[in-house]
Each structure stands twice: as C-alpha cells, then as structure tokens.
Amino acid sequence: MKTLYTTQATATGGRNGQVKSENGIVDLEVRMPKALGGSNDDFANPEMLFAAGYSACFDSALNLVIKKENIETGATTVSAKVSIGQNDNGGFGLEAELHANIPGVTIEVAQSLIEKAHEVCPYSNATRGNMPVKLTVSND
C-alpha cells in the first residue's frame, strides 16, 4: 500500500476513559454503554466512533463512485449501525449495517452504486472477510 495519510489517537482507561487524537480535535470521554454493563449512555463508545468513521468514509466512497460514473444524484447520506457481540471463540466481534440514501436515481442504480462504493471504501476493504456488513439503499 502506498500511504497517503496517517493519523494517531491515544486511549487511556479503555472503555471507561478518554480518547484523544494527536491534533486534539477528537478529545472525548468514553464510557461503557448500558447494554454492556455501563451506567450511562450519554458518552461516546468505540462502536459509536467506528460507526461515525465508517459512515463518513463510505459516503465519500459513494460520492467518488457517483462522480466517476458521471451520474446525477441528490445529496447522499449514509448511516452505519455497528453492533458488538460475543463470537464463537469466547471473544468479541463486530457487525455493521450500512444504509445509503441516494436520491434522484432508480433503486437499481442506487443498489449498483452502493455495491461499487463497498469495493472502494477503505473501511469496507478493512472489514471484508472479518465482519458481516449488510448493505441497504433507498432513493427518496
């Protein structure tokens, strides 16, 4: 891989601590969500941060594909739902659902665009074969 950009973040205290990017833009308290035994859902957590990153990255990949295909669409949105659960080995795993809304095209064109974006997106490439990722699309 030819590296184009590198960044760094540091966590202190794990799921009940602090995460901070090297430039200080991201500087958040993280806490265990109630569903995992925490006491408060009013804080960020690793799955939330992953969902935010994946949705932003995937929307960029989607818009790159739309531009390369020279297709006219309305403004796109991508939502990422990230779940954590126990795997068969006693460890933990993630799964994701990505939903893209691509207005101004048929549902068939929208489906084709999301599938192509899934091949381009760095998060999709990193997770492929490592976690289930479900794709859905709408065009309203």
- Whether residues 27 and 51 fall in one domain: no
What is the tens place of the pLDDT at every residue in 74-84?
A: 999 999 999 99
Alpha-carbon gap, residue 103 to 56, rounded angstroms: 18
pLDDT averaged over the chain?
Answer: 97
CB 98 within 8 A of CB 60: no
Tell me: do 78 and 113 sit in the same domain. yes
Last residue of a domain, one of 44, 63, 78: 44
Same domain for 127 and 95, yes or no, is yes
Q: Do 51 and 40 sit in the same domain of this protein?
A: no
* 13 shares its domain with 74: no
CA distance 34 to 64: 37
Same domain assignment for residues 96 and 74: yes
Give me the CATH number covering residue 86.
3.30.300.20
- Whether residues 56 and 118 share a domain: the answer is yes
Same domain, 66 and 16: no
The sign of the CA dihedral 122, 78, 49, 88 is negative
Kindly report, residue by residue over 69-117, the tens digit of the pLDDT: 999 999 999 999 999 999 999 999 999 999 999 999 999 999 999 999 9
Parallel, antiparallel, or unpaired for β 9-12 and 17-21?
A: antiparallel
What is the model's pTM? 0.95
Identify the pLDDT of residue 67: 98
- The boundaries of the domain holding residue 125 are 46-138
Q: What is the CATH number of the domain that holds 22?
A: 2.20.25.10
Same-domain check for residues 83 and 101: yes
For helices 107-120 and 46-69, give the axis angle rounded to 10 degrees: 110
